[in-house]
C-alpha cells in the first residue's frame, strides 16, 4: 500500500481531497440537499485515512489498520454530529450537516463491526476446534475498537432516542465480551513448544468460561434494562398518566432477536463444553452452570414481560443445559483419564439432569393449566403450556439418543475402554431407568403415543447397555450368532402384550409402538440378519427363525381386520418347511 503514488505523496493527496470536501461544504447551498455535507465528511475521512496510513503504519495488517481508522472516525463524526445538533445556528442547515456527519459515523461503524466480526469468527473457531494453530489476533486493539463503537452509540443516544438503539448496544456488548475473552487463554507463539506450553487445558477452559459467563450477564442486563424501563413508566404514570399502566410493553426493533442471538451463544458454548467432557476444575464448571442459568432466567423473565414463543424455547433449552451442566460438574476430576474413559461418565451424569428436566417440563405443562380461563391463556404461563410440553418432548428425544450413545460406547470404533465397572452398571442403568420411568409416567397421564414410543426406545437402550457390557463374552457371542431366532422369539411376547393393552384405559398408548417393534423392527432385523450372513452357525437356525417370524404374523393376523398378515405368515411358514425339508434331505444323503 505504501508503494503507490497516493501514499508516497500523501501530504499533497490528502490535502487535495480535504480541500475538495471543504469546498463542497461551502457551496452546499447550490448542491443537492445533503450532498455538500456528505462530500465533506467522506473527503476529510479519506484525507485522514491516507495521512494515518502513510505515517503510522508499522507492519500491521491493512484490514486491522482500516478497522482502527474506521472506529476512530465513527466516534469523531458522532461527536461532530451531536454537538452540531446542539448548535443554535440556522436550524435547517445545522440539521442537514449533522445528518451527514451521523451518516458517516454509521458507515464507519458498520465497517468496523464487519472487520472485527470477520476476525473474531476465525479466531473463535480456531480456538474451539484447533487450539494449537497459530492465529494472530490483537485482542486489545479489537476490544478498543468495539469500545469506541459503544462510545459512538452512547453519543448518538444522548441526542436522539431510536427504537433500534438497545439492540445495537446489546450486540456490540456481546462482540466486546467476545474480544475481551480472547485476552485470556491460548496465545499465538512462533515455536511449536511455545504454543503447546501456552495452551494448557486450564487456560482453554478459562477463556471459554469467561465468554459464556459474559454472554449470560449480558442477557440478564438486557432483562434488567427492560424491567427498569417498565418500572419507570409505571412510576411516571401517577397521577396524570394513568393510561401508561395499561400500555403494551415497548417493542424495540431487533431487541428480542439480539437477546436470542446472545443467549444462543451461551447454549452452544455450554453444549460444546459437555461434549468436550467439561472443565477440569469445579470452579470453572460452576461458572458454566451460572452462565447458563443466568441466560435462561433472563430469557424466561423477558417472556413474562414481552411474550415470545421462540425466546421461551431458548430459555427452556438453557435451563435444561443448566441442569445437565450441574450434574456433569459433580463428576470427580480424573486428570490422567483419557477421553474414552471420561466422556461416557460425563454424559451419563448429564443423563440425570436431562431426565429431571424432561419430568419438569412435562409437569409444568400440566401445572400451568390453572392459568387458562375457559381454555384460553391469559398469562405468560398459560401461553407457555404447549411450548413447555414441546420442550419436554425434545429433551426426552435428545436424552434417548444420548442413552444409546452411552449404551453402545464400548462397541464404538477406536474405543478400547470396556466401561464395565460396577459403578458404571449402576449409574448407567439408573439414569436410563429414571428416564424410562419419567416417560412412562407422562405417557400414562397424557396418553401420548409419541412419548410411549420414546419410553420403549429408552428400555431398548437399557437392554443395549447391559448387552454391550455383559461380562461373559461367550454368552454375548452366542447371542450375536443366534440373533435371528432371539429377535423372532422376543417379538412374540411383545406382540402378546400389545394385543392386551388396548383393553386398558391408561396404557393403550403403548400398543402402537409395541406393534411396530413386534411386527416390523424385530422381524425385519431377524430376516435381514439371516440374508446378510453367508453361513449360519447351525443348520436349524434358518428354518426355526422363519417359523418363529411366521408365528408372529400368524398371531397378528388372528385378529379381525388384519387378515393380510396371515398371507405373510403362510409364506414364511412354507419357507421354513422348505428349508427344513432340505435340511432333512441333506442329512439323509449323508447317512
Per-residue pLDDT of 402-439, as tens digits, reads 999 999 999 888 887 788 888 999 999 999 999 999 99
pTM of the complete model: 0.85
Q: What is the pLDDT of residues 24-47, one digit of tens each?
A: 666 566 566 656 667 777 777 777
Q: Name residues whose C-beta falls within 8 Å of residue 80's C-beta, 6 or more positions apart in sequence.
A: 98, 101
Neighbouring C-beta atoms of residue 535, cutoff 10 Å:
4
Q: Could you give the angle at the alpha carbon of 137 between the alpha carbons of 133 and 141, nearest 5°?
A: 165
- Which grid coordinates belong to 191? 515455536
Q: With contact defined as beta carbons under 8 Å apart, do 305 and 249 qualify? A: yes
Q: Which residue has the cell 424501563?
A: 229
Phi-psi region for residue 161, left (φ > 0), alpha (ψ -120 to 50) or beta?
beta
pLDDT confidence of residue 582 = 82
- Which grid coordinates belong to 280? 477440569
What does residue 238 show for φ and ψ, rounded to 5 degrees? Answer: -90, 135
Radius of gyration, CA atoms only, the chain: 34
> Would the pLDDT of 61 be above 60?
no
pLDDT confidence of residue 353 = 96
pLDDT confidence of residue 194 = 41
112 closest CA partner among 83, 80, 153: 153
Neighbouring C-beta atoms of residue 431, cutoff 10 Å:
28
Q: Where are the beta strands (DSSP E) in 367-512?
A: 372-373, 376-377
Q: What is the pLDDT of residues 272-327, one digit of tens each?
A: 988 887 776 788 889 999 999 999 999 999 998 888 999 999 999 999 999 999 99
388 closest CA partner among 300, 263, 502: 300
pLDDT confidence of residue 521 = 94
Helix (H, G, I), strand (E, B) or coil at 492: helix
278 closest CA partner among 215, 319, 321, 325: 325
Helix (H, G, I), strand (E, B) or coil at 372: strand
Amino acid at each position: 500500500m505504501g508503494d503507490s503514488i497516493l501514499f508516497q505523496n500523501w501530504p499533497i493527496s490528502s490535502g487535495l481531497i480535504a480541500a475538495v470536501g471543504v469546498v463542497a461544504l461551502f457551496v452546499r447551498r447550490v448542491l443537492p440537499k445533503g450532498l455538500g455535507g456528505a462530500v465533506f465528511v467522506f473527503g476529510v475521512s479519506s484525507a485522514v485515512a491516507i495521512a494515518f496510513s502513510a505515517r503510522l503504519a508499522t507492519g500491521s495488517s491493512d484490514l486491522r489498520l482500516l478497522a482502527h481508522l474506521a472506529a476512530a472516525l465513527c466516534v469523531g463524526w458522532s461527536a461532530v454530529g451531536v454537538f452540531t445538533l446542539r448548535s443554535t445556528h440556522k436550524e435547517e442547515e445545522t440539521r442537514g450537516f449533522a445528518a451527514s456527519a451521523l451518516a458517516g459515523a454509521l458507515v464507519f461503524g458498520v465497517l468496523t463491526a464487519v472487520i472485527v466480526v470477520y476476525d473474531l469468527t476465525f479466531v473463535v473457531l480456531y480456538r474451539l476446534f484447533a487450539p494449537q494453530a497459530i492465529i494472530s489476533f490483537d485482542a486489545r486493539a479489537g476490544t478498543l475498537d468495539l469500545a469506541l463503537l459503544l462510545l459512538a452509540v452512547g453519543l448518538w443516544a444522548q441526542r436522539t432516542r431510536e427504537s433500534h438503539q438497545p439492540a445495537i448496544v446489546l450486540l456490540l456488548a456481546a462482540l466486546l465480551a467476545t474480544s475481551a475473552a480472547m485476552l485470556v487463554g491460548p496465545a499465538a507463539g512462533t515455536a511449536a513448544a511455545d504454543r503447546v506450553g501456552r495452551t494448557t487445558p486450564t487456560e482453554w477452559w478459562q477463556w471459554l468460561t469467561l465468554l459464556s459467563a459474559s454472554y449470560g450477564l449480558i442477557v440478564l442486563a438486557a432483562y434488567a434494562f427492560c424491567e427498569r424501563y417498565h418500572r419507570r413508566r409505571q412510576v411516571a404514570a401517577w397521577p396524570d398518566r394513568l393510561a401508561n399502566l395499561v400500555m403494551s410493553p415497548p417493542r424495540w426493533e431487533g431487541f428480542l432477536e439480539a437477546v436470542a442471538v446472545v443467549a444462543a451463544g451461551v447454549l452452544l458454548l455450554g453444549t460444546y463444553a459437555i461434549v468436550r467432557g467439561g472443565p477440569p476444575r469445579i470452579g470453572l464448571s460452576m461458572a458454566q452452570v451460572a452462565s447458563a442459568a443466568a441466560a435462561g432466567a433472563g430469557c424466561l423473565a423477558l417472556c413474562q414481560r414481552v411474550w415470545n414463543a421462540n425466546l421461551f424455547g431458548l430459555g427452556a433449552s438453557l435451563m435444561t443445559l443448566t441442569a445437565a451442566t450441574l450434574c456433569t460438574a459433580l463428576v470427580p476430576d480424573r486428570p490422567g483419564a483419557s477421553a474414552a474413559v471420561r466422556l461416557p461418565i460425563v454424559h451419563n451424569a448429564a443423563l440425570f439432569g436431562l431426565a429431571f428436566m424432561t419430568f419438569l417440563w412435562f409437569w409444568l405443562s400440566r401445572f400451568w393449566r390453572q392459568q387458562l380461563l375457559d381454555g384460553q391463556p391469559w398469562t405468560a404461563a398459560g401461553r407457555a403450556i404447549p411450548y413447555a410440553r414441546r420442550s419436554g418432548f425434545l429433551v426426552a428425544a435428545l436424552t434417548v439418543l444420548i442413552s444409546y450413545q452411552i449404551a453402545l460406547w464400548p462397541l464404538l470404533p477406536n474405543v478400547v475402554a470396556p466401561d464395565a465397572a460396577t459403578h458404571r452398571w449402576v449409574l448407567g442403568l439408573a439414569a436410563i431407568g429414571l428416564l424410562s420411568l419419567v416417560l412412562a409416567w407422562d405417557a400414562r397421564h397424557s396418553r401420548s403415543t409419541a412419548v410411549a414410543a420414546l419410553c420403549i426406545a429408552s428400555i431398548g437402550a437399557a437392554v443395549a447397555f447391559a448387552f454391550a457390557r455383559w461380562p461373559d463374552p461367550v454368552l454375548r457371542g452366542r447371542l450375536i450368532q443366534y440373533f435371528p431366532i432371539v429377535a423372532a422369539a422376543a417379538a412374540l411376547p411383545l406382540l402378546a402384550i400389545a394385543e392386551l393393552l388396548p383393553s386398558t384405559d391408561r396404557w393403550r398408548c403403548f400398543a402402537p409402538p409395541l406393534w411396530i417393534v413386534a411386527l416390523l423392527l424385530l422381524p425385519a432385523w431377524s430376516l435381514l440378519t439371516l440374508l446378510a450372513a453367508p453361513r449360519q452357525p447351525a443348520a436349524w437356525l434358518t428354518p426355526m427363525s422363519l417359523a418363529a417370524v411366521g408365528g408372529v404374523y400368524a398371531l397378528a393376523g388372528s385378529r379381525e381386520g388384519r387378515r393380510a398378515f396371515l398371507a405373510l405368515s403362510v409364506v414364511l411358514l412354507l419357507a421354513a418347511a422348505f428349508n427344513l425339508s432340505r435340511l432333512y434331505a441333506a442329512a439323509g444323503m449323508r447317512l
